[in-house]
Amino acid sequence: MSQTINQTLPNSEKIQHESRFLKAARREPVDAVPIWLMRQAGRYMPEYRQLREKYSILELIKTPELACEVTMQPLQAFDLDAAIIFADILPPLEGMGLELDFVHGEGPVIYNPVRTAADVERLATPPAEEALSFTLKAIELARQALDERAIPLIGFSGAPFTLASYAVEGGSSKDKLHLKSLMYSEPRSWHSLMDKLATVAGNYLLAQAQAGAQALQLFDSWVGELSPQDYRDYVQPHSRKALEIAKQAGVPLIHFGTNTSGMLTDIRDAGGDVIGVDWRIDIDKAAAILGDSVAVQGNLDPIALHAPWSELEKRATDILKRMHGRNGFIFNLGHGILQTTPVDNVKRLVDFVHEYTKV
């Protein structure tokens, strides 16, 4: 049933051919630069905060009708070129046997973190259809809602390293001490853990495309904590495996990380049609390093959205000038939008990117 959603919705073909987001991901010419924003649904929006008064974040994620509603909130408020399914990178860890909660003021917590070989051994790798059916159902609903407006939907997963960082640390962590200790001192357990995470992430991405997602993003938010050599030795094969599984879907794959200026070609070589970069490098420089075989997504500092419009406009213009004339550019932030972001600046930015680049 879910396999066929791409074909059965009336506007599916039109979206494939006309969406400027999908065209840019395929490095085809566009009528204006496409823009979407990482974490575009969330607490900076009053509509979202209102729903959060009644429901926890996990309730929102696990109730397909609510997840669909939240997915649509930024599309109703702004002229964005893509939607991203409302979910989080952490629920797949629950299916593997970890106890997850989001604790007010602390962020995510895993009550039984992975620390030993036995802990790794115990981790399950259930199919996404079983463990994450709520998000797959939410994707089907969101596709129906978006089809009327001919807007494509992005599915996503955390990458093995970023998932491992939560699984091993038990929550957010600055120095990743437990994570790197496991990596350096127990390489066999490390690779076994990463292989299980790659299986879960890859299959989850593939299942999201089969449920209707027209592009997929792998978030490796914390990968910049590693030296490039450690990335190549301990992480890259596993990200490659996840992306290879997802590739079977035949939709564009976005591979995103932060603090990756020193390892851009390594990230690219792990896979992905589009590489997401942060603001710690000039975007044209990143594009030159990455070369013509991939599209580029980025890279405004999310804090710039807090600046007066004239400053924000200056920074957005700089990025657009640097990428002028290059096929395969998707405007985005260099990392997720912050909860303190003024909604009005988001609206102005989205409209500005279109107006400034319209051909």
CB of 121 to ligand CP3, least distance (A): 25
Residue 35, SS3? Answer: strand
Q: Please say whether the dihedral angle defined by the alpha carbons of residues 183, 185, 187 and 188, taken in this order, is positive or negative.
A: negative
Alpha-carbon distance of 120 to 199, in angstroms, equals 14
Question: 137, 204, 141, 153: which is closest to 41 by C-alpha?
Answer: 153
Q: What is the residue whose two structure tokens read 């640097």?
A: 322
CB of 339 to ligand CP3, least distance (A): 6
Query: Residue 256: enclosing H or E segment and its boundaries?
Result: strand 253-257
- Rank residues 27 and 82 by Cβ distance to ligand CP3 and give the closer one: 82
Q: What is the residue whose two structure tokens read 């463990």?
A: 131
Shortest Cβ contact with ligand CP3: which residue? 221
Q: Can you give the binding site for ligand CP3, defined by CB under 6 A?
A: 38-43, 52, 57, 84, 86, 88-90, 102, 107-108, 156, 172, 219, 221, 335-336
Phi, psi of 83 (to 5 degrees): -105, 155
Catalytic one of 44, 48, 166, 204? 166
CB of 100 to ligand CP3, least distance (A): 10
Alpha-carbon distance of 125 to 340, in angstroms, equals 37
Concatenated DSSP letters for 190-223? HHHHHHHHHHHHHHHHHHHHHHT-SEEEEEETTG
- Rank residues 27 and 66 by Cβ distance to ligand CP3 and give the closer one: 66
CB of 89 to ligand CP3, least distance (A): 4
Catalytic one of 20, 44, 48, 88? 88
**92, 157 in Cβ contact below 8 A?**
yes
- Rank residues 175 and 355 by Cβ distance to ligand CP3 and give the closer one: 175
Active site residue 322: no
CB of 256 to ligand CP3, least distance (A): 8
- Rank residues 237 and 336 by Cβ distance to ligand CP3 and give the closer one: 336
**216, 209 in Cβ contact below 8 A?**
yes
Catalytic one of 52, 315, 326, 348? 52
- Rank residues 47 and 284 by Cβ distance to ligand CP3 and give the closer one: 47
Residue 185, SS3? Answer: helix
Active site residue 39: yes
Report whether the peptide linkage leading into residue 332 is cis, meaning its omega lies within 30 degrees of zero: no
Catalytic one of 39, 143, 231, 278? 39
Alpha-carbon distance of 272 to 156, in angstroms, equals 13
CB of 20 to ligand CP3, least distance (A): 19
CA 28 to each of CA 22, 23, 25, 80, 334: distance values in angstroms, whole numbers, following the listed order: 9, 5, 8, 19, 22
Active site residue 43: yes
- Rank residues 9 and 154 by Cβ distance to ligand CP3 and give the closer one: 154
- Rank residues 27 and 260 by Cβ distance to ligand CP3 and give the closer one: 260
Catalytic one of 43, 115, 232, 240? 43
Alpha-carbon distance of 246 to 300, in angstroms, equals 27
Q: Indicate the burial class of 342 (C-beta count within 10 angstroms; 0-12, 13-18, 19 or more).
A: middle
CB of 71 to ligand CP3, least distance (A): 7
Q: What is the residue whose two structure tokens read 């600055």?
A: 174
**Which residues, other chains included, contact 140 with Cβ-Cβ below 8 Å and sequence gap of 6+?**
2, 5, 64, 211, 212
Which residues are marked as active site? 39, 43, 52, 88, 166
